[in-house]
Each structure stands twice: as structure tokens, then as C-alpha cells.
Amino acid sequence: MKTLENKVAIVTGAGMGIGKAIALLYAAEGAKVVVSDINEQAGNEVLAELLKNGAEAIFVKANTAIPAEQEALVNETVKHFGALHIACNNAGIGGPLAPVGEYPLDGWEKVININLSGVFYGMRYQLPAMLASGGGSIVNISSILGQVGTPTSPAYVAAKHGVVGLTKSAALAYANKNIRVNAVGPGYIKTPLLNALDEATMNFLTTLHPIGRLGEASEVAELVLWLSSSKSSFVTGSYYAIDGGYLAQ
């Protein structure tokens, strides 16, 4: 029997990068997957790949920063598959780069809305659906910058720290209700988010990781899979770095 057999899972930001890798691995392990992304074309491409591989899956377009769209995402999931057991709140953006005293106000608002409020809105509607389904597991994607700072990404750092705190609060509230909530903190991962960086910047980022390379989206997906499955049944309220040694320095 596959690890996630007969489970229903939502993955936000599933159109590319880490979210795509998670959606594909969930499906490979037997889950019925709801691919969600604000990018309809990217989301449908992932859906097509899942269906080609024989998975049960649908695509639901949703902006995680809009509560009504998060509610609709959960409602559509339950309507189509009859339950919700797993959610990975992965959608996020990097935002502008500037120190706090120069940071654009619209950039702050956008990053906080997507990276922090979006996780709250997701759990706000996922949790009642999971209770009705008999329990489940939520994995929120934070970052190494959910534990440490960096000078020019104050909104991202604040949001990712907030995700860790929000995860702990939700985990405590639902620990005796058969719902586990955990956070994952990736280091720099080779995804389309890094495509705009030049070679020198990429080389510099690589040097920040003692293991000597950037991470792969598939490696993050393996950790998320474990946290989503019954194999991590005694784990809740935790933050797991997957960072090639970044935070050990």
C-alpha cells in the first residue's frame, strides 16, 4: 500500500518548483491531489502531468491572499473528492529587496498578504474540513529565513518567521483532534524563483550552504511527504530545516 493511499491533498503554489514536486510525489504515493496556483497555465500543465501518470487530480485556481478563494478551494476539494486529509501551504513570493528604512510599502503588504496571511487563510478553511474528515496533516512552507534574518528582505523574513509561530499555535490547538501541523524551512532551492539571478549571485548562494550546493525541489518534497504521512504520527508543532547545513553555522 502506498504511503498516502486514499488521502486527499491540497497543494498551493503547485504550478512550479517546490509545490510541483510535492504534488507529483503526493500523487506517486497514492494521494488524490488538488493542484492550486494563481497561474492557471502552469497549474494545468502540472495537472496534465499528473493525469498522464494515472493520478486522480484536479486544478483549482486560487489566490492564497484572498480568503474567499481559499474557502472556495477547500469547498471544491471536498465537493469533488469528498474529504480533505492533507494540505501543503506552499505558495509564496520573494518580494522586493531593500533595507527596512527604504522598503516599499506596497511590497511589504503584498509579501505579508501572500506569505503569511495566505497561510492563515488556508488553514482557516482547511482545518474545519479536516476535522469533518476525521483528521489530517498540514505542512506549511517557511524558510531558513523563518529562523534567521537577512538585511534586504524584511517582509519575507517577517512573514516566514510568522509562519513558524502560526504553525505552532495551530498545532497546539488541534493536537488532541487528530490534526498535526508542521513547518518546513528550505534553504536556497533550485527553482524558477532563482532563474532571474546571474551566475555570480548563484555561486554566492551556493557558498552559503556547507554541503556545497543548492537544494533540489524533490528533496524538499520528500521531507514534506514524511510530515504529511502517518510515518510522522508523533510529530506536530515542529520546524524542520532542509538547508544543506545553512542554519548550523
Question: In this predicted structure, what is the pLDDT of residue 65?
Answer: 98
DSSP character for 61?
A: E
Indicate whether 67 pLDDT > 80: yes
Beta-carbon contacts of 66 under 8 Å, excluding residues fewer than 6 positions away, are 121
Fold of 8-241: Rossmann fold (3.40.50)
- Per-residue pLDDT, averaged over 176-188, amounts to 98
Indicate whether 7 pLDDT > 90: yes
Show the cell assigned to 11. Answer: 497543494
Question: In this predicted structure, what is the pLDDT of residue 6?
Answer: 96
The continuous run of DSSP H or E covering 32 comes out as strand 32-37
140: nearest Cα among 154, 155, 126: 126
Distance CA 142, CA 128 (A): 22
Q: What is the mean pLDDT of the chain?
A: 97
Q: 84-139, pLDDT tens digit by residue?
A: 999 999 999 999 999 999 999 999 999 999 999 999 999 999 999 999 999 999 99
Question: In this predicted structure, what is the pLDDT of residue 194?
Answer: 82
Question: In this predicted structure, what is the pLDDT of residue 195?
Answer: 80
- At residue 239, φ and ψ (nearest 5 deg) are -120, 125
CA dihedral angle for residue 147, residue 241, residue 187, residue 168, rounded to 10 degrees:
-50
Show the cell assigned to 133. Answer: 474528515
19: nearest Cα among 84, 121, 90: 90
Q: 193-235, pLDDT tens digit by residue?
A: 788 788 899 999 999 999 999 999 999 999 999 999 999 999 9
Catalytic residues: 156
Indicate whether 172 pLDDT > 90: yes
Say whether 162 sits in a helix, a strand or coil.
helix
Q: What number of helices (H) and strands (E) belong to the chain?
A: 8, 9
Distance CA 235, CA 239 (A): 10
Spans of all domains in the chain? 8-241
| Structure confidence at residue 1 as a pLDDT band (50, 70, 90) | confident
Q: Of 5-9, 67-71, 150-154, 190-194, give the lowest mean pLDDT range.
A: 190-194
Which residue type sits at 200?
A: A
Distance CA 14, CA 55 (A): 15
Beta-carbon contacts of 53 under 8 Å, excluding residues fewer than 6 positions away, are 24, 27, 28
